[in-house]
C-alpha cells in the first residue's frame, strides 16, 4: 500500500509530465502580421487559469475554448520499475492533463483582429458515461469519478503543484509560461524549467508554440537555456513516460526527484538557440522592453522554422 509521501511525489510528476507533453496549435497558411511594438505586456508572474470541473475533453477544444493544445497521459515506464508496486503504477496513470487556449476577436477599422484571451489547464480522468472529464478535489465525487483515498490525495497534490506553472509574460499576441520539471539527463534526474512561448498572429488568428528548456544552477536559480528550440505540433496526445530511479527511494518512499521525464517533447521542427535569443531565453522575469524584444526574436525564429524544409 503506497504511503501519503508516495502519493504526493507521484502527484508532482503527473503534473510535471503533463506539462512536459507540449503546447501548440495548428499553423495556418498566413504568417506574422503582428507588430510587437504596439503590444502592451503584462510581466507580472501569476498562475495560469484552470479549466472548470465537469468539462469533457476528447480530441478537440471544448467550448468556450478555441484550441486544444495538448492532452497527455503520464505513466511509469522506464528505469527501475522494480522499485514500485502495481498500485503506485496505477496512481501514476489514472489522471491525464489537458491544456487549452481561448482566442477572441475584435474589430479595428472594419477589419477583424485576434487576441489571446486565456490559457488554461486541468486534470481529468475517464468517467464512465461521460468520457475524459476535468475534475477537482471538491467535485470528483459529484461528477462520478468516485476516487479512492490515495487517488484523492494525488489529485489534491496535483492541484497544489499546478500553482507553480505561471505566466511570465502576457500580451494580446504572446503568452510565456514556465513550468518546473525533473528531467533525465546524463543518467541523472535533474531539476529544470520548460518554457513555452505561445505566439498569435492578430490578423490571421494563427497560433504557434515554441518550447525550450532552461537549466537551473545549484541554488535552483535560472541559469542558461538548454538544447534546441522546438516548434511543437498541434492537438497532441502524448504518452508521457516517467523514469524511476531506485537510488532515490528510502524504505520504499520516493524522494522528490525519484521520478523524471524520460525526455522533453520533440517538435515537428527544431533549431539551435539563436545568439540573438540566448540573452532573453532564460530570464526569470522580464521588463516590458525585454518582453517586446523576446517577441520580436521569437517571430523571427518561427519564420525560419516555417520556411525550413
Tell me whether residue 107 is in a domain: yes
What is residue 239's predicted lDDT score, i.e. its pLDDT?
A: 86
Q: Does residue 171 lie within any of the structural domains?
A: no
- Asked, for residue 160, whether it belongs to a domain, the answer is yes
Q: What is the pLDDT of residue 24?
A: 34
Per-residue pLDDT tens for 61-77?
Answer: 999 999 888 888 889 99
Q: What is the pLDDT of residue 193?
A: 95
Task: Report the pLDDT value the prediction gives residue 3, as an integer from 0 to 100.
Answer: 61
Residue 28 pLDDT? 40
Say if residues 43 and 169 touch (Cβ distance below 8 Å): yes
Quick check: is 235 in a domain?
yes
Cell of 130: 461521460
Give the global pTM: 0.85
Identify which of 13, 146, 16 has the alpha carbon closest to the alpha carbon of residue 91: 13
Domain holding 90, by residue range, is 4-166+176-307
Q: pLDDT per residue over 173-229, tens digit each?
A: 999 999 888 999 989 999 999 999 999 999 999 999 899 999 999 999 999 999 999
Report d(CA 41, CA 181) in Å as an integer. Answer: 26
pLDDT of residue 299: 96
Angstrom distance (rounded) from CA 304 to CA 189: 33
Specify if 277 maps to a domain.
Answer: yes
In a domain, 11, yes or no: yes
What is the predicted pLDDT for the residue at 14? 61
Would 205 be classed as within a structural domain? yes
pLDDT reported for residue 223: 96
Residue among 18, 69, 12 at smallest CA distance from 241: 18
**Residues of the chain under the 70 pLDDT cut:** 1-34, 38, 309
What cell numbers appear for 283 in the block? 530570464
Per-residue confidence (pLDDT) for residue 266, from 0 to 100: 79
d(CA 283, CA 293): 12
Give Cα 267 distance to the centre of its chain: 14
Domain count for the chain, please give it: 1
Per-residue confidence (pLDDT) for residue 179, from 0 to 100:
85
Q: How far apart are CA 79 and CA 187, in angstroms?
A: 10
Assigned domain for 221 exists: yes
Burial label for 240, CB within 10 Å (0-12, 13-18, 19+), is: buried
pLDDT (0 to 100) of residue 16 = 56
Amino acid at each position: 500500500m503506497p504511503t501519503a509521501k508516495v502519493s504526493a511525489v507521484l502527484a508532482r510528476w503527473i503534473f510535471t509530465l503533463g506539462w512536459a507533453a507540449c503546447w501548440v496549435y495548428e499553423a495556418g497558411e498566413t504568417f506574422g502580421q503582428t507588430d510587437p511594438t504596439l503590444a502592451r505586456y503584462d510581466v507580472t508572474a501569476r498562475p495560469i487559469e484552470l479549466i472548470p470541473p465537469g468539462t469533457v475533453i476528447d480530441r478537440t477544444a471544448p467550448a468556450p475554448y478555441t484550441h486544444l493544445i495538448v492532452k497527455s497521459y503520464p505513466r511509469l515506464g522506464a528505469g527501475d520499475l522494480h522499485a514500485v508496486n502495481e498500485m503506485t503504477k496505477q496512481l501514476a496513470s489514472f489522471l491525464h492533463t489537458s491544456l487549452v487556449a481561448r482566442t477572441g476577436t475584435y474589430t479595428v477599422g472594419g477589419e477583424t483582429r485576434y487576441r489571446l484571451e486565456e490559457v488554461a489547464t486541468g486534470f481529468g480522468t475517464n468517467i464512465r458515461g461521460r468520457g475524459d472529464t476535468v475534475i477537482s478535489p471538491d467535485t470528483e465525487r459529484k461528477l462520478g469519478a468516485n476516487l479512492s483515498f490515495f487517488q484523492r490525495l494525488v489529485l489534491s497534490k496535483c492541484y497544489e503543484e499546478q500553482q507553480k506553472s505561471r505566466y511570465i509574460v502576457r500580451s494580446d499576441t504572446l503568452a510565456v509560461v514556465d513550468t518546473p520539471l525533473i528531467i533525465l539527463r546524463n543518467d541523472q534526474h535533474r531539476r529544470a524549467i520548460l518554457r513555452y512561448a505561445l505566439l498569435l498572429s492578430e490578423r490571421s488568428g494563427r497560433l504557434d508554440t515554441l518550447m525550450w528548456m532552461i537549466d537551473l544552477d545549484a541554488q535552483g536559480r535560472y541559469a542558461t537555456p538548454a538544447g534546441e528550440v522546438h516548434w511543437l505540433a498541434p492537438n497532441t496526445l502524448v504518452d508521457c513516460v516517467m523514469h524511476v530511479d531506485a537510488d532515490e527511494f528510502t524504505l520504499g518512499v520516493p524522494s522528490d526527484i525519484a521520478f523524471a521525464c524520460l525526455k522533453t517533447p520533440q517538435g515537428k521542427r527544431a533549431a539551435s538557440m539563436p545568439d540573438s535569443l540566448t540573452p532573453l531565453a532564460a530570464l526569470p522575469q522580464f521588463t516590458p522592453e525585454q518582453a517586446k524584444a523576446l517577441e520580436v526574436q521569437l517571430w523571427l525564429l518561427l519564420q525560419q522554422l516555417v520556411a525550413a524544409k
